[in-house]
């Protein structure tokens, strides 16, 4: 496991549990206590956690930092692949319509969709430049890339043109990625323009499926784009904290754990 991925998992666990200690983290990740202390020092400098004697407690500040697309692809690749496989069960039938949000986990789903028996019959709308290239390059003819400005760091199309187009559309199902997910703040991300596109996809889809690896759970970014009430299903990996999953299910959300 990369150090960056381990730190994201530590940050998520701290956010969910409120407090973590060095000994338990050392055992969980099978690394030395000194390695965990270095991880906590890095997270503390980034404002993600606050170090305390023997461990760390959750930070109360909203996150704003964004990671490059290449960094996101390297983070939790096996979890994202497993999540994408489970997400296949929620694809619409023949002649169905799909919103595909920009993100690395939705990109993993697109990789699998290209070979699906119904792929050529779906109408697919995305604001992700990599996903549009992936699916159109595979020969799918009913792929629409929203117009607008392309954000360099995420390769996501955003802006008024994209929002005006989405306002006229409806989809059977939307697959949405997120930078963070909490019980109180719902789904959130760092950029207001990307948040607006995500929110529009959520609003205009009959069913909303959130694809997120467990490192995002418990974290909170600056811009909220959807409440838990607007979500039907969350597909995450089996490292998700049990207490967090239980609370989501108590709120009527179907949670699928991919292994």
Instruction: Measure the CA–CA gap between 234 and 254, rounded to whole angstroms.
Output: 6
Percent of the chain at pLDDT exceeding 70: 93
Decide if pLDDT at 219 tops 90.
no
Mean residue pLDDT of the chain comes to 90
Closest CA to 114 of 136, 144, 145: 136
Instruction: Measure the CA–CA gap between 36 and 10, rounded to whole angstroms.
Output: 9
Closest CA to 90 of 173, 203, 198: 173
The predicted-structure confidence for 148-166, as pLDDT tens digits, reads as follows 999 999 999 999 999 999 9
CA atoms within 13 A on the CB side of 152: 0
Instruction: Answer whether 254's CB lies under 8 Å from 82's CB.
Output: no
Closest CA to 163 of 123, 198, 122: 198
DSSP run (H or E) holding 51: strand 49-52
Helix, strand, coil % (nearest 5) of the chain?
45, 25, 30
Least confident of 4-13, 81-90, 173-182, 203-212: 4-13
Pair type for strands 55-58 and 49-52: antiparallel
CATH class of the domain at 3-58: mainly alpha
Dihedral in degrees, nearest 10, Cα atoms 134, 81, 90, 190? -80
pTM of the full structure: 0.79
The predicted-structure confidence for 188-200, as pLDDT tens digits, reads as follows 998 999 999 999 9
pLDDT for the residue 62:
58
Average pLDDT (223-231) is 93
Closest CA to 199 of 239, 166, 237: 166
Strand spans (E) along 60-166? 97-100, 123-126, 143-145, 149-151, 156-158
Percent of the chain at pLDDT exceeding 90: 68
CA distances for 2 relative to 8, 75, 201, angstroms? 10, 8, 33
pLDDT band with cut points at 50, 70 and 90 for residue 71: low
The predicted-structure confidence for 103-124, as pLDDT tens digits, reads as follows 999 999 999 999 999 999 999 9
CATH class of the domain at 69-258: alpha beta
| 229: its two tokens | 């009430």
Spell out the domain ranges in the chain.
3-58, 69-258
DSSP state of 252: T
Question: Which of the pair, 56 or 66, is modelled with greater confidence?
Answer: 56
103: left (phi over 0), alpha (psi -120 to 50) or beta: left
């Amino acid at each position: 496991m990369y150090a960056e991925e381990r730190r994201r998992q530590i940050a998520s666990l701290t956010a969910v549990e409120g407090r973590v200690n060095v000994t338990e983290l050392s055992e969980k990740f099978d690394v030395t206590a000194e390695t965990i202390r270095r991880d906590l020092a890095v997270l503390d400098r980034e404002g993600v956690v606050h170090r305390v004697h023997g461990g760390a407690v959750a930070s109360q500040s909203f996150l704003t930092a964004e990671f490059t697309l290449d960094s996101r692809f390297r983070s939790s690749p096996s979890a994202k692949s497993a999540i994408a496989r489970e997400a296949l069960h929620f694809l619409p039938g023949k002649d169905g319509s799909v919103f595909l949000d920009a993100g690395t986990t939705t990109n993993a789903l697109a990789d699998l969709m290209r070979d699906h028996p119904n792929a050529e019959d779906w109408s697919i709308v995305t604001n992700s430049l990599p996903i549009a290239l992936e699916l159109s390059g595979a020969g799918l003819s009913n792929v629409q890339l929203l117009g607008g400005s392309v954000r360099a760091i995420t390769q996501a199309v955003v802006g008024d043109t994209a929002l005006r187009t989405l306002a006229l559309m409806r989809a059977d199902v939307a697959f949405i990625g997120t930078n963070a997910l909490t019980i109180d703040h719902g789904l959130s991300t760092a950029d207001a323009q990307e948040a607006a596109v995500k929110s529009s996809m959520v609003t205009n889809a009959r069913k909303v499926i959130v694809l997120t690896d467990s490192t995002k759970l418990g974290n909170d970014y600056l811009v909220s784009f959807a409440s838990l009430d607007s979500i039907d299903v969350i597909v995450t990996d089996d490292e998700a904290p049990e207490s967090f999953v239980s609370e989501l299910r108590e709120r009527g959300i179907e949670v699928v754990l991919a292994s």
